[in-house]
Structure 1
Amino acid sequence: MTADPQAATKTGYDADTVASLTADATAIMARYPDPRSGLLPMLHLVQSVDGYVSRDGILFCAEMLGITAAEVSAVATFYTQYKRHPNGTYTVGVCTNTLCAVMGGDAIFDELSDHLGVGHDETTDDGAITLERIECNAACDYAPVVMVNWEFFDNQTPETATALADKLILGEDVVPTRGAASVCSFKQMSRVLAGFPDGRADEGTGAGEPTLAGLKVARERGWTAPESPSRAEPAETGGGAAGETSPPVGTPGSSAERKPATSSDTETGKDKKPGEDAK
């Protein structure tokens, strides 16, 4: 499947942009038995060009996949990583979920908001930073965590977070706590999410000391995980896989049919909606 020859006119992209996007989108679609499954990475692709999912990007995806612009928009408006207005060069996300909040995430967000003069999902006037409240980043052992274009900055404080933001605004290099050795732009990050590696996957440290602390203690003390029941043992009640047991019939968890026990079990039309005739 290829783009409509009129796609450049319909989208407003110039011919070179259409050619580049078409080549990349074709590569994305080839990854899937059903090309339509490539819509998610394709939205990241157009975002890597425009800095957000623009009207032109939506029309391009629709043309490539042979679906309507409304269907593309329905997906683009569902996921928060797709931006429907121009995003900053850097998305600064402050985790304010449970543990990060307890450890100071809300204070960090409030300080950054005051310092930058923007609120959630708003961008500074210079276009440098879009500030976001973010749900759990799976980095609770480093709480509170701030992310810049999905790179980790661990154990932050209001002071370190504002200093980080100032460096980003000034265009200075910043080094994530873990992972890649540098922070790329929002557009570059969107291209990576579209499935085009930037060669930085093996940079930096993946798991630091807090993450590995439990493993270290377990090895020092010779702890191992409990052995699972042997799969060679026959099931006690039959019908299940070897080594599995089934609850006795009639007990919680049993898959056997339960005999009616209350009037509601046999009440005619009990699952009808209000106003519907019972049958």
Structure 2
Amino acid sequence: MNAQSRPASKIGLLSEPSRTEIDREIAKYPPDRKQAAVMAALRIAQEQNGGWLPADLIEAVAEYIDMPAIAVHEVATFYTMYDLKPVGRHKVCVCTNISCLLNGSSRIMNHLETRLGIKPGETSAGGKFTLKEVECLGACGGAPMMMVDKTYHEHLTPEKVDEILDKLE
């Protein structure tokens, strides 16, 4: 393959701090298993990009960790922690798995939909909130629960949800 037919490298889309952080994740695995860092690499790239992963950034991650782009895209589309379109300044993820469901997560989701004026997968006018329905967040003992940005909130009631939202910029 000559230089003109070779696709341009996308690694430059990853910032230097992001590449350094990805390298730290890669170092946790044997040299021939650096692809095991794919989830961490996607998280780092998403954080670098304001909370979402455009296709070219997914391809940059794939190139950086020597994986086929389609395989990295499959990871990014399988897990709800990754977003493939722009998100609001605050991402509100409500667990709707069995423990949370049995303890009232549908009531919490309905309250959030009304309060924010959006459905799961949507972003509010002005871009303040993105609402997501997610599977297990691993805090079944605190059901119903949600994660706002990187903070867990457990034993939710509509009133507690309002208090949490009111404190956000």
RMSD of aligned residue pairs (Cα, Å): 2.3
Is 1:29–2:13 an aligned residue pair?
no
Relative to 1, partners in 2 of residues 1:26 and 1:127: Cα closer, same or farther, differing over 3 Å?
A: same
Shift of 1:120: 0.9
The code of the aligned residue for 1:63 comes to E
Provide the C-alpha distance between the structure 2 equivalents of 1:35 and 1:114, rounded to a whole number of angstroms: 44
Shift of 1:11: 6.1
Match of 2:72 in 1: 72
Structure with max Cα Rg: 1
Unaligned runs of 5+ in 1: 1-5, 172-279
- Number of equivalenced pairs: 159
3-state SS of the aligned residue for 2:22? Answer: helix
Match of 1:147 in 2: 147
Shift of 1:150: 4.3
Relative to 1, partners in 2 of residues 1:95 and 1:30: Cα closer, same or farther, differing over 3 Å?
A: closer
Shift of 1:155: 2.1
Taking only the aligned residue pairs, the percentage that are identical comes to 33
Provide the C-alpha distance between the structure 2 equivalents of 1:97 and 1:79, rounded to a whole number of angstroms: 15
Match of 2:5 in 1: none
3-state SS of the aligned residue for 1:77? Answer: helix
Normalised by the length of structure 1, the TM-score is: 0.51
Does the Cα contact within 8 Å between 2:120 and 2:131 map onto a contact in 1? yes
Match of 1:83 in 2: 83
Provide the C-alpha distance between the structure 2 equivalents of 1:152 and 1:127, rounded to a whole number of angstroms: 21
Provide the C-alpha distance between the structure 2 equivalents of 1:96 and 1:136, rounded to a whole number of angstroms: 7
Match of 2:161 in 1: 161
Does the Cα contact within 8 Å between 2:80 and 2:134 map onto a contact in 1? no
Match of 1:253 in 2: none
Normalised by the length of structure 2, the TM-score is: 0.79
Provide the C-alpha distance between the structure 2 equivalents of 1:143 and 1:19, rounded to a whole number of angstroms: 39
The code of the aligned residue for 2:17 comes to S
Match of 1:44 in 2: 43
Shift of 1:48: 1.0
